[in-house]
A = this chain, B = another copy of it.
């Protein structure tokens, strides 16, 4: 799968990498249970520091998206093991903030829900 990183973004690279991998899992580009490349090989492919990839993996691991095994390396968790979206209040706060910005921008509830529905479907 293709991972897009923007090195001039204010968002840390390891967070972008984490996001890209979650997107990949959600879109099916990364299958449940699929083996992920090693830290070093992915770092070499992306042209980033190995520590950056390592931090992204650790973040995904701590959130329950992937699992690291000493012997078998790193792999995407099974479908039933994915973390609950509302487990961390962070996500909810982000959603509320986005809804606020949309409402202030003149979007009605229906228009906003249309955007949300599109986002749910989107296979980008």
Contacts and interface: CB of A to CB of B under 8 A. Distances in A.
Contacts of A8: 67-70
A95 B119 contact: yes
A109 interface: yes
Number of identical protomers: 4
Counting chain B CB atoms within 10 Å of each CB, the highest count among A26, A27, A68 belongs to A26
Contacts of A120: 99, 102-103, 109, 112-113
Contacts of A109: 117, 120-121
Interface in A42-71: 48-49, 65, 67-71
Interface of A: 7-9, 12-13, 19, 22-23, 25-27, 48-49, 65, 67-71, 82-87, 91-107, 109, 112-113, 115-117, 119-122, 124
